[in-house]
Amino acid sequence: MTDEIEEIRRQKLEDLRNRKETGQSDESEAQSPSEPIPVNGNAELTETVTGYDIVLADFYADWCGPCQMLEPVVETIAAETDAAVAKIDIDANQKLAAEYSVRGVPTLVLFADGQPAERLVGMQDEAQLRSAIEKHS
C-alpha cells in the first residue's frame, strides 16, 4: 500500500505541475459525478481517488442489510456534495477490501487529496457523512 500512496502522490504532483505550466487553476479540477462510481479493482480506485479532491469509498456487499439501507444516503451524498462516491463490492473485490482492512460492511473510507483521511464503519446518516466531507474539503 505504501507504493500505491507514493504513486498517488507522484500523480498529484505531476497534475499540479501540468496545471501550472498550462496556466490552469484548481477550478478546472473534474467536477464530481452526481451518481456513485462503480469501482472494480485497485487501478480503478486509484484513478478515482486521484481524479477528485474528495472521494467517499463505500465498501459494501449486496447481501448486507445495512448496506442496502445506506445506498440512498450515499446516492444523495453523490448528487448533492462535491465529493465523488466510489462503490466497491467486497465480494467481487476481496483483495481490495483486505488492503483497506475492511472487516465489516458497510465501511466507508473518505479520501482527501488522494489520501485516506477518515474511516466510518456501519450505518451512517446523511448528516454524519456531510460533516466528514466538509471537515476534509
Q: What is the pLDDT of residue 27?
A: 46
Among 39, 67, 83, 112, which one carries the catalytic annotation?
67
Environment class of 121 (CB within 10 Å of its CB; exposed 0-12, middle 13-18, buried 19+):
middle
Annotated active-site residue 119? The verdict is no
If one compares 23 and 39, the residue with the highest pLDDT of the two is: 39
Cell triple for 102: 475492511
If one compares 58 and 4, the residue with the highest pLDDT of the two is: 58
The average confidence (pLDDT) of the chain is 90
C-alpha–C-alpha distance, residues 88 and 81, integer Å? 19
Cell triple for 101: 482492512
Q: In 1-137, where does DSSP find H-type helix? A: 2-22, 42-51, 65-80, 94-99, 126-136
C-alpha–C-alpha distance, residues 79 and 93, integer Å? 25
Q: What is the pLDDT of residue 9?
A: 65
Record the pTM: 0.79
Among 8, 47, 64, 75, which one carries the catalytic annotation?
64
> Which region among 2-11, 48-57, 86-95, 127-136 has the lowest average model confidence (pLDDT)?
2-11
Residue 14 binned pLDDT confidence (cut-offs 50, 70, 90)? confident
Question: How many domains does the chain contain in total?
Answer: 1
Residue 26 has pLDDT above 60, yes or no: no
Residue among 99, 100, 102, 118 at smallest CA distance from 110? 118
Annotated active-site residue 29? The verdict is no
- With beta carbons less than 8 A apart as the criterion, state whether 11 and 17 touch: no
What percent of the chain stands above pLDDT 90? 76
* CATH number (domain holding residue 6): 3.40.30.10
Residue 86 binned pLDDT confidence (cut-offs 50, 70, 90)? very high
Q: What is the pLDDT of residue 8?
A: 72
**Residue ranges making up the domain that contains 44:** 2-136
Residue 20 has pLDDT above 70, yes or no: no
What SS3 state is found at 71?
helix
